[in-house]
Amino acid sequence: MSLLCLRNASTGYGSSQVLFGLDLTIEPGQAVALLGRNGMGKTTTLRTLFGMLPLHTGSLHFDGYDVTGWLPDRIARLGMALVPEGRQCFPNLTVREHLDAFAARRSGGAAQWNTRSVYELFPRLQERERHMGNQLSGGEQQMLAIGRALVTNPRLLILDEATEGLAPTVREEIWRCLATLREAGQAILVVDKYLERLLPLCERHIVLERGRVIWEGTSRELDAQREMWPRLLGV
């Protein structure tokens, strides 16, 4: 049984339709990349998965449940966690307070991720434990946003523009983190533009254009079709 299954999804904003019959599946423990130029429907797809946008047509199943029409908080409690574009850390909470506030056991059983294990993954966060969200650098905020999602112990971790605007050294730390999660069997859906780093991380890659899936394949297939990268992905 698939962990996530979005079928024939059409939705948009007001009278403007953005997604047109989109299909997306993710298996347990699988890492998938959602690709495409700006404005092609990637963020709209993520909002649809979280119930932030109602489906005009289609269905959404997650972890064996038909969650079509569910509210975002109810979907999140099933075990879906988002690392949003722009990080969205609370300026008046410390690093430790962020992690304590979001701690949960949504994947079932004993919690794997807690404050201590997040600090082991990102030692810099422990060093900055007493700092407020608005006192952190962009890279530290991204680490905190990932840690905040992990302490919910999600079944599916979703990252929107995971390394956008980060310094190269910080990007490498984020990629290292995602590789560690992948090896541990964490299901991941990631939106990012650094294809060279996505190839070894993800099993499948889905390219959107104007709200439709126009290409889907494995890392090997994507690597073999580099001539299409500039046209479809803007790289």
Nearest to 187 by CA among 84, 80, 65, 99: 80
- Using alpha carbons, select from 128, 125, 107 the residue that is nearest to residue 116: 125
Residue partners of 195: CB distance under 8 A and separation at least 6: 35, 222, 229, 233, 235
CB 110 within 8 A of CB 153: no
Predicted pLDDT at 165? 85
Domain span holding position 65: 4-233
pLDDT of residue 87: 78
Neighbouring C-beta atoms of residue 28, cutoff 10 Å: 14
Q: Is the dihedral of CA 108, 146, 39, 227 positive or negative?
A: negative
pLDDT (0 to 100) of residue 106 = 67
- Return all residues near 171 (Cβ < 8 A) that are at least 6 apart: 163, 194, 197
Give CA–CA dist 221/153, Å, rounded. Answer: 32
Find where tokens 């948009």 sit.
Answer: 12
Nearest one of 51, 99, 55, 110 to 75, comparing CA atoms: 51
Identify the three-state secondary structure at position 102.
Answer: helix
How many domains is the chain partitioned into structurally?
1
- Beta-strand ranges (E) seen in the chain are 4-13, 16-26, 31-35, 57-62, 65-66, 80-83, 156-160, 187-191, 204-209, 212-218
Q: What is the CATH number of the domain that holds 125?
A: 3.40.50.300
pLDDT along the chain (235 residues), means of 10: 96 94 97 94 96 96 97 95 87 94 69 90 95 92 94 95 88 93 95 93 96 96 93 72
Question: Residues 71, 51: contact at Cβ < 8 Å?
Answer: yes
pLDDT at residue 118, rounded to an integer: 96
pLDDT at 1: 85
Q: How much is the pLDDT for 111?
A: 54
- Other CB atoms within a 10 A radius of the CB of residue 44 amount to 22
